[in-house]
Structure 1
Amino acid sequence: MAGKASELGNSDSAAKNINREYVGKAALAVSVFAVIWSLFQLYSAASGTFDAISLRAWHIIFLLTMAFLLYPAWKKKERSTRKYPAVLDVLLILLTVVSFGYLLINYSNIALRGGYLLPQDYIFGAIGILVIFEAARRVVGNLAVLALVFLLYNFFGNMAPGDFGHSGFSINRVIDHMFWGSQGIFGIAIGVSATFVFLFILFGAFLRISGFSKFINDLALTIAGRSPGGPAKVAVLASSLMGMINGSALANVATTGTITIPMMKDNGYRARFAAAVEAVASTGGQFAPPIMGAAGFVMAEYLGVPYTTVLVAAFIPAFLYYLTLILVVHFEAKRLGLKGISKENIPAVKEVLKKQGHLSLPLIILIALLFMGYTPLYAAVFSIIAAVVASWFRKETRMGVKEIWQALEEGAKSAVGVGVACAVIGIIIGTVSLTGLGLAFGYSIMEYTNESLLLAGILVMLMSIVLGMGVPGVAAYVIVATVAAPVLVNLGVEPIAAHMFVLIYACLSNVTPPVALASYVAAGIADEDQNRVSLTAVKLALTGFILPFFFIFEPALLLDETQLGVSIMPAVTATIGAASLASGLQGWLLTRTSIVERVLLIGAGFCMIAPGFWLDGLGLAIIIIILGWQFIRRKNKQDVLKKERMFV
């Protein structure tokens, strides 16, 4: 059973980046280890028996062991399957257990002697740092290089010019801070990996294996399948929901994209457009409530606010992002004259809800528990249990021992990429806190921009996109929240607006050239040029690129659960603006638009999204005039066609 579960687990979407599979007893051993890890994480979250450092140390031991087992040292030389781990991998696993096991045994004693470290403490600390770098090199190569640059900055910062220079730190001081302190490897990044991130990835695995993804796809078909361009709308709905749960644009494109992209192409959409739609839809799930790919839970920790505050604040940005995307695919379908899916190929909504509706109960329970004030960890554990129980309601979806085993294994393997990224990010965060690099960034930007919020926002946007490139969503947010968000806060931006600003841009790095990984994966599925897909994706995600600038000036665009009335009008006008923007981008409203109309509609969209009574009035006036003119043109065209038919 376990061996079979291993094979199934290795074939799932989240494991597609894993380059090594095992056969025989090794496959069984890896499968058992993965399941034990998942059970440990569930137990620790449910019982609360571990202190923060102990939980994070155990998490790292499991995490790095899985990383060395699943990711080969040299991918090009590695065979596709193995009967046993490589000697180097076994050695690295032993070093991991020894170094972090040493910390588990001695951490309390070191704390009792006031943090004074002995020579062997530094040695084991150095080993721990090295094995983390090796795991990061294998799993998230680019991020490992970035972390190495930050680590070297600790030693050679005295050579940096101006505000970025410092006196330099000794090796012992760096090891002390990075390994034995609470602001380095064992800081907030690995903390969220050991709690929120792992549990919600595991929750996503249980949902997928119970059949939830099929339910979402069928439900999306019933909602939007028959409308013009139905397959693209189905892709948007399904990808947004699944991306919200798994928190990985890359994994989401690799799974849903294999179904939705060919479906869109068959319906008549261009390959470039179909790939871009899937990439953009999958990317937005990382900041879409209620789960936000677990990034929202991290944001709540940073800000010290209830998660519901973050959830409510993210609603308008996510709604406008997906509204624009839905309207873009609708207008494109109208422009191309595309139809929806035929009725016989769409399941009946009553049948879908009757046969699969019970699978939505875990998600409903999760949302309810969060709004009732329960902690995200409690809500996640309870929802995982609910996913199993809900699956038992019907024979077709029932999860037995085999499926539960598979979900536990898949969840652990899927957590490796994000977890290793969070571990090595501890080096980046530790460097920022030790050297004061974050303050130096902030002072430099404020000095360069003369404290102009607009210019500072542009620089922070670029910084967030660059730092987020090639990094999992949660890990990307942790980086930019540490380095970039404080710049905006120091300029007077509301903390939640500043953090939402950097989160959205870090996520959008998935579709932003030159490292648009989600776009590149989608392009491969669509058999289309990567750069063309990336540029199209940036166009489709335009609302996501412009909206954050407006809500740092007008926080009312981020819903406040205590002042919902204040946000109603900005939300309404921004919704109209998003529709106008989508119309201008695709060249269709009631009928085909001229170049002048497209420019005016895009301009009106900007005016309506931007806060301000006069801008709203100007944008609305432009939209009404164009609507009236389009209505007259369409009516005249219909009259001409009617006369022609009568003549014939």
Structure 2
Amino acid sequence: MSERSERGGALSEEELQELVAASDSGARNPAGAVGLFLAVVAVVWSVFQVLLASPVANYVLPGDIINNSRQIHLAFAIFLAFCAYPAFRSSPRRHIPVQDWFFAVAGAFIAMYGFFFYEKIVQSGGLADDTDKWFALAGLILLFEAARRALGPAMAIIATIFLIYVFFGSGAWVPEVIRWKGASLQKAMSHMWITSEGVFGIALGVSTKFVFLFVLFGALLEKAGAGNYFIKMAFGALGHLRGGPAKAAVVGSAATGLISGSSIANVVTTGTFTIPLMKRVGFTSEQAGSVEVASSVNGQIMPPVMGAAAFLMVEYVGISYVEVITHAFLPAMISYIALVYIVHLEAVKRNMPTLGDRVVSLGRTVGGMFAFFAGFAALCYLVQYPVAWVVALVPEGAGWILAGLVFVAYIALLALAATVADLEPDDPNAEDVRLPVVGEIYKSGLYFLLPIIVLVYFLMIEQKSPGLSAFWATALLFAILVTQRPLKALFRGGREIGQAARAGVVDLVAGLIAGARNMIGIGLATATAGVIVGTVTLTGIGQVMADLVEFVSGGNLILMLVFVGILSLILGMGLPTTANYIVVSSLMAGVVVELGAQSGLIVPLIAVHLFVFYFGIMADVTPPVGLASFAAAAVSGGDAIRTGFTAFFYSLRTVALPFVFIFNTDLLLIDVTWLQGIIVFMVSTVAILVFTAGTMGWFLTRNRIYESVALIFIAFLLFRPDYLMDRLVPPFAEVPPAQFEQALAEAEPGDRIRVVVSGPDFDTLEPKDMSLVIEVGGEEGAQARLDATGLMPMEEAGEVRLDEPMFGTPFSEQLQSFDFYGDDPVVISQVRARQPQPPQELMYIPALLLLAGVGYLQYARSQRQEVPA
């Protein structure tokens, strides 16, 4: 009987690694000289990217190479894609066919076309000539084929459709609403391949500058043994609780999600250990797989890495990296807290047994974990003070002294680790499962926290660029990988130091190879998505999409958000998260902001980008594609479709949170003080737990239907206290349009006034309305404030008419869609000014009282159920 059938349909370890390789790093692994050559190419790519991010890049690398680093990055990705990914399932796995060698070399050459012919392209002003356009077209075809192999057919198909639209979008057979003037092959190829508007645009630049270093950092940290250490620590802390293996899976996946950009690799890495143990305590195969999927996919929303999206948001939104991860932190944290609670409720509902014979207080466990994370955060923050002291004392040699202090800390922690045995992966199928004791194993991997502290310090305290921060953390990992084995051998008595040193070098090389192979798909995804972004900028299809979505949603913002979420899910079924995020945000982010403004709601751009990103990652869960669900089913032996639907149910909070933070930006910590931030964290944590209890059908005991409805309503009130308050005491008072200037004069600086402008549309002459949100400045007097807005109202025939605002004034672009010169005037039809309102936090009181009422009912019922008949 095969191993697979013995384990109830689960794949063997070797088959699982093949699954990860096929989806993340390439299913082909040739041996011999060819395999060695590909390993060398991967190592060279990793070393090149490390040098590119280093402070000495300008001294070590020629300027031409630095300026054309995107081309070199893509050349490596295309070359390795054709070598590592077979064309078809029937293609050979152990050797590379001649045609793939040809495609690899040709693809790499054309990717570097801009590097080889840089002078010629500069002289032509970036416009392709007859030769350039054919090379560019061949480059696109090879790029699409490489993307098809590495990412599946959807990415290449979608990019091809957009490219066809560029060429044939002017045809008479194209619906007039999306028809455009068209482009010649020469112009299109210039835009897509020769300039930085298409393939070599922002997305590929982010992949080159930032993403590679973080992916490499995660691969090296995993190779050093940090992944196993995090999982062991999670099991040691939580494994003995009811449903402990599932709780440990959540925490362990959160930790590995910090350093891994792949939900599939995360599922297999942690799932091979956690899923069998979850099944042992009573979870079904589908439930065990679903818990692992939900926690692994959530790893992508957890700062600081967030797949590659965090770095793309820096470029697209135009805010700093620190701001991006600050805004993303709270929703990710409460999402994981809710997932732990989901697991707890499943265990309580089924009265699951515990693993092992240790009895530890839940309060002490939670308190210990909180103390660890709080201590780690405090350490990352407080380290700036001794650093500042050293810099002030020795300004010239501070860098060397600080490096020496880090080395001393590393040696001390490594000496501590040498006092205990190295951690070995446990067998989850063993008859006697002995859970690790945190007090015994924590010493073995404390030094793994050093690179993370260095990374967080440079990112958050020094606020260096993500690339430079990752460089210093990666440089420390280089030293750790090479030295940890021989130094441990030295501390343990000095035996077999030479063999340990060789093993350390092997680990480093393996980490460099893994980092490069993991980057193939991301590099191709960002390049191919550049074609879609380039189509949007070349054709103006984005505005057409905006009009179409506005028409479909009827101008309703919630319907529009549902539409965007569904679009993200559909595209994400065939695209990796990063590519999905690029495509949907390029098409839809501006539309949501614009429609929100028309509805009188100021939607920050970062909120929309996070909204798109959250729905993009849900595609890894959602059937029928849901790659992470299929990977989990392969580990558990369960049904993949059922696993996907259960994982989606467990991830309902990830679906609900984006809608919440669009309307309540406090959740993203936008414009909140420290005290407000703490209150928001506490209240939103309670809200997400109450929402979880409502959707899971269990609070203190099994819910009645009305109790589940009440709990979900309570969660809504806690998340959106403004919703009920605004209906009890409207935040804005109606002002006659004739008193618009007076309202401006009486408003306090920083207040917002809503103005509805009505008039004929410039294109259709149909009447339409548009909401403007005017933020009152500090100018003195009504006229000065009116001049600052650029609006020119004039009272005539009993109405307040508007002239067209001067070009460059705040609302000139928004109002240009009105016809100011027709027979029907453009008028101010409504003015609403802010009025005093009680604090919205008062709504917490009835919500918490209602929660107490539900709790009392359930407690009384649970007590009656416990009394014997």
Q: CA deviation at 1:258?
A: 2.0
Distance between the aligned counterparts of 1:527 and 1:152, measured in 2?
A: 42
Q: Which residue of 2 aligns with 1:384?
A: 474
Q: Which residue of 1 aligns with 2:434?
A: 345
Equivalent residues of 2:607, 2:661 under 8 A apart: yes
Equivalent residues of 1:554, 1:611 under 8 A apart: no
Equivalent residues of 2:69, 2:208 under 8 A apart: yes
**1:229 and 1:66, CA in 2 relative to 1: closer, same or farther beyond 3 A?**
same
Equivalent residues of 1:485, 1:498 under 8 A apart: yes
Distance between the aligned counterparts of 2:715 and 2:607, measured in 1?
A: 21
Structure 1: 5+ residue stretches without partners: 1-7
- 1:465 and 2:569 equivalent? yes
- 1:214 and 2:205 equivalent? no
Distance between the aligned counterparts of 1:102 and 1:422, measured in 2?
A: 18
Q: CA deviation at 1:16?
A: 4.2
Q: CA deviation at 1:562?
A: 6.2
Distance between the aligned counterparts of 1:116 and 1:511, measured in 2?
A: 43
Distance between the aligned counterparts of 2:127 and 2:715, measured in 1?
A: 60
- 1:318 and 2:329 equivalent? no
Equivalent residues of 2:129, 2:186 under 8 A apart: no
Q: CA deviation at 1:390?
A: 4.1
Within the candidate set 150, 157, 161, 2:169 is matched to: 157
Provide TM-score, normalisation by structure 2. 0.69
Distance between the aligned counterparts of 2:629 and 2:846, measured in 1?
A: 36
Equivalent residues of 1:230, 1:339 under 8 A apart: no
- 1:148 and 2:160 equivalent? yes
Equivalent residues of 1:203, 1:384 under 8 A apart: yes
- 1:30 and 2:140 equivalent? no
- 1:427 and 2:531 equivalent? yes
Equivalent residues of 2:78, 2:108 under 8 A apart: no
Within the candidate set 709, 717, 732, 1:607 is matched to: 717
**1:101 and 1:598, CA in 2 relative to 1: closer, same or farther beyond 3 A?**
closer
Q: Which residue of 2 aligns with 1:518?
A: 628
Q: Which residue of 2 aligns with 1:395?
A: 488
Q: Which residue of 2 aligns with 1:173?
A: 187
Q: CA deviation at 1:483?
A: 1.4
Distance between the aligned counterparts of 1:436 and 1:144, measured in 2?
A: 21
Q: Percent identity?
A: 35
Q: CA deviation at 1:636?
A: 4.1
- 1:509 and 2:602 equivalent? no
Q: Which residue of 2 aligns with 1:3?
A: none
- 1:628 and 2:856 equivalent? yes
Equivalent residues of 1:136, 1:421 under 8 A apart: yes
Distance between the aligned counterparts of 2:18 and 2:620, measured in 1?
A: 21
Within the candidate set 216, 221, 224, 2:238 is matched to: 224
**1:563 and 1:480, CA in 2 relative to 1: closer, same or farther beyond 3 A?**
farther
Q: CA deviation at 1:331?
A: 0.8
Q: Which residue of 2 aligns with 1:198?
A: 212
Within the candidate set 428, 441, 449, 2:545 is matched to: 441
Bigger share in helix: 1
Distance between the aligned counterparts of 1:149 and 1:265, measured in 2?
A: 45
Q: Note the aligned Cα RMSD (angstroms).
A: 2.3
Within the candidate set 48, 72, 75, 1:61 is matched to: 75
Q: Which residue of 2 aligns with 1:368?
A: 457
C-alpha offsets along residues 590-628 of structure 1, whole Å, 9 cap, x if unaligned? 233333323322332233223424764443233211111
Distance between the aligned counterparts of 1:352 and 1:468, measured in 2?
A: 40
Q: CA deviation at 1:629?
A: 1.9
Within the candidate set 339, 344, 356, 2:445 is matched to: 356
Alignment of 1:522-601 (within 5 A): 522-560=632-670, 563-601=673-711
**1:584 and 1:11, CA in 2 relative to 1: closer, same or farther beyond 3 A?**
closer
SS at match of 2:638: coil
Q: Which residue of 1 aligns with 2:196?
A: 182
- 1:81 and 2:309 equivalent? no
- 1:107 and 2:107 equivalent? no
Q: Which region of structure 1 is more displaced relative to structure 2, 20-29 or 505-514?
A: 505-514
Distance between the aligned counterparts of 1:204 and 1:77, measured in 2?
A: 32
Distance between the aligned counterparts of 2:181 and 2:201, measured in 1?
A: 24
Q: Which residue of 1 aligns with 2:792?
A: none
Distance between the aligned counterparts of 1:431 and 1:293, measured in 2?
A: 25
Distance between the aligned counterparts of 1:562 and 1:369, measured in 2?
A: 24
C-alpha offsets along residues 292-324 of structure 1, whole Å, 9 cap, x if unaligned? 223212111212211111111111210121111
SS at match of 1:246: coil
Q: CA deviation at 1:290?
A: 2.1
**1:550 and 1:162, CA in 2 relative to 1: closer, same or farther beyond 3 A?**
farther
Q: CA deviation at 1:385?
A: 1.7
Q: Which residue of 2 aligns with 1:15?
A: 21
SS at match of 1:582: helix
Q: Which amino acid aligns with 1:94?
A: V
Q: Which residue of 1 aligns with 2:581?
A: 477
Within the candidate set 103, 124, 127, 2:138 is matched to: 127
Q: CA deviation at 1:194?
A: 1.5
Distance between the aligned counterparts of 1:615 and 1:513, measured in 2?
A: 38
Q: Which residue of 2 aligns with 1:94?
A: 105
Q: Which amino acid aligns with 1:77?
A: S
Q: Which residue of 2 aligns with 1:136?
A: 147
Distance between the aligned counterparts of 2:539 and 2:128, measured in 1?
A: 21
Equivalent residues of 2:661, 2:667 under 8 A apart: yes
C-alpha offsets along residues 259-286 of structure 1, whole Å, 9 cap, x if unaligned? 2212211111111111111111111111
**1:479 and 1:564, CA in 2 relative to 1: closer, same or farther beyond 3 A?**
farther
Q: Which region of structure 1 is more displaced relative to structure 2, 99-108 or 190-199?
A: 99-108
Equivalent residues of 2:314, 2:320 under 8 A apart: yes
Distance between the aligned counterparts of 1:138 and 1:178, measured in 2?
A: 21
**1:583 and 1:523, CA in 2 relative to 1: closer, same or farther beyond 3 A?**
same
Equivalent residues of 2:18, 2:27 under 8 A apart: no
Equivalent residues of 2:223, 2:507 under 8 A apart: yes
C-alpha offsets along residues 425-475 of structure 1, whole Å, 9 cap, x if unaligned? 111111111111112111222233343221211111112222222322222
C-alpha offsets along residues 124-180 of structure 1, whole Å, 9 cap, x if unaligned? 212211211111121122111111111111122224324322122221111111001
Equivalent residues of 1:125, 1:179 under 8 A apart: yes
SS at match of 2:303: coil
Q: Which residue of 1 aligns with 2:53?
A: 45
Distance between the aligned counterparts of 2:134 and 2:560, measured in 1?
A: 42
Higher relative contact order (CA 8 A, sep 6+): 1
SS at match of 1:215: helix
**1:153 and 1:201, CA in 2 relative to 1: closer, same or farther beyond 3 A?**
same
Q: Which amino acid aligns with 2:112?
A: G
Equivalent residues of 1:510, 1:516 under 8 A apart: yes
**1:549 and 1:611, CA in 2 relative to 1: closer, same or farther beyond 3 A?**
farther
Equivalent residues of 1:244, 1:287 under 8 A apart: no
Equivalent residues of 1:550, 1:611 under 8 A apart: no
Q: Which region of structure 1 is more displaced relative to structure 2, 265-274 or 94-103?
A: 94-103
Structure 2: 5+ residue stretches without partners: 1-13, 359-432, 490-499, 598-602, 723-839
Equivalent residues of 1:320, 1:543 under 8 A apart: no
Q: Which residue of 2 aligns with 1:283?
A: 297
Within the candidate set 233, 246, 270, 1:256 is matched to: 270
